Amino acid sequence: MEAVVAAPRALVGRALTGPVSVRVRDGRIVEVVEGRAADAEVLPTGLLTAGLVDVQINGAFGVDFADVDAAGMRAVAGFLPRTGVTRFLPTLITAPVPAIVRQSRALVAAMAALPEHYGARPVGLHLEGPFLSPQRHGVHDPDLMVAPGTDNLDLILRDRAVAEALRIVTLAPERPGGTEAIRRLVEAGVVVSVGHSDATAAQTTAAADAGASMVTHLFNAQTPLSHREPGVPGIALTDHRYTLGLIADLAHVAGPVCRLVFAAAGERVMLVTDAVAAAGMPAGRYRLGGAEVLLTEAGVPRSPEGTIAGSALTLDRAVRNIVSLGVAEADALTSATEIPADAIGAKDLGRIAPGAVADLVWWDEDLRPRRVWVDGEVVYDADEVGGLVAAGS
């Protein structure tokens, strides 16, 4: 199947240009040219980008990935395209290692059961725990946190289905065995992210020396930035080996600080949602890792004790939030497309370029998704009743 889409503006090579025509064949982009091709479907207004990539999402649309089945995964995959997301990494938080393996197997089975050409597509698994610091536990249960010793890693990496799906592990590098765990995970092809960590600046640098290449939700649940001890954020902002995850709901990190992050390291900032089951849902009670969280009209999920518990953020709203702070549209959109794709080694996602997967988003002038393609097929159209147009919907 071949199609050509022409847009007045498009994000190509981390810059806005246009008009541009994008030719798609068999689910891949085969040509990107200036101007409007004669055989193109012309988008009259707005902006064309690659699909958004969310590498940290614990659930959405009432579904908690710690307790998911095929129907739940289908619900999330169907919901995400209306937010511009075409690829995502289901994320599990701290639990006993055997429980994490069971949850991971269930996630893998649910991902495999998704119908072809249906909604957004999961691209693996992100384990945010249990190899974290009890001193920086956030909403995670500190009593379930363990050091990443050989036995614990063996339980995860020797399960073939889980190991094949595993893309990111967030850990605290200062835990006993942390450096060895980073090296082992990186050798296994897993991206290691520093998070929920009490690491010093020196320990954060040593983690990068060992192969860590990401920081999970910058500033949240980690040593603070100080003028004498830079902590995790100080190294993250100045060490170019790190890609920085940022929850841009303007509650986890204040707007001026988000602006500072983009000014200091915009080419390495990766927008994430850290969304929980409450995302896309009204105020009420939801689950995160099996525990209850409350979403009020304020829009920020919290534990019964009042701790922020993930977010109800969607990635398109994160982009709009960042643009509202004065960050250029191209930079904000790149931080939700190409940068997260590159962070997980998916060089064929998150970009409009020949050879890339044909995941596309047509945005209106207010940066709201109007139409979304996954693998070259339209999976969401705001003009259709219900929006979702995927096969089997």
- Catalytically active residues are 274
310 is in an annotated binding site: yes
Q: How far apart are the first and last CA of the chain?
A: 21
Tokens of 317: 């709203």
152 is in an annotated binding site: no
**Concatenated DSSP letters of 56-67:** EE-EETTEEGGG
241 is in an annotated binding site: no
Farthest CA pair distance, the chain = 63
Reference 213, options 184, 234, 244, 187; nearest CA is 244
190 is in an annotated binding site: no
Strands 191-194 and 166-171: parallel
128 is in an annotated binding site: yes
252 is in an annotated binding site: yes
110 is in an annotated binding site: no
What's the one-letter identity of residue 66? A
The Cα 220–Cα 364 span in angstroms is 32
**Concatenated DSSP letters of 181-219:** HHHHHHHTT-EEEE-SB---HHHHHHHHHHT--EESSTT
Kindly report the number of other CB atoms within 10 A of residue 380's CB atom. Answer: 30
117 is in an annotated binding site: no
CA 218, 50, 71: angle at the middle one, nearest 5? Answer: 80
321 is in an annotated binding site: no
353 is in an annotated binding site: no
308 is in an annotated binding site: yes
Binding-site residues from annotation for substrate: 139, 220-221, 228, 252, 308-310
Binding-site residues from annotation for Zn(2+): 128, 196, 217
Binding-site residues from annotation: 128, 139, 196, 217, 220-221, 228, 252, 308-310
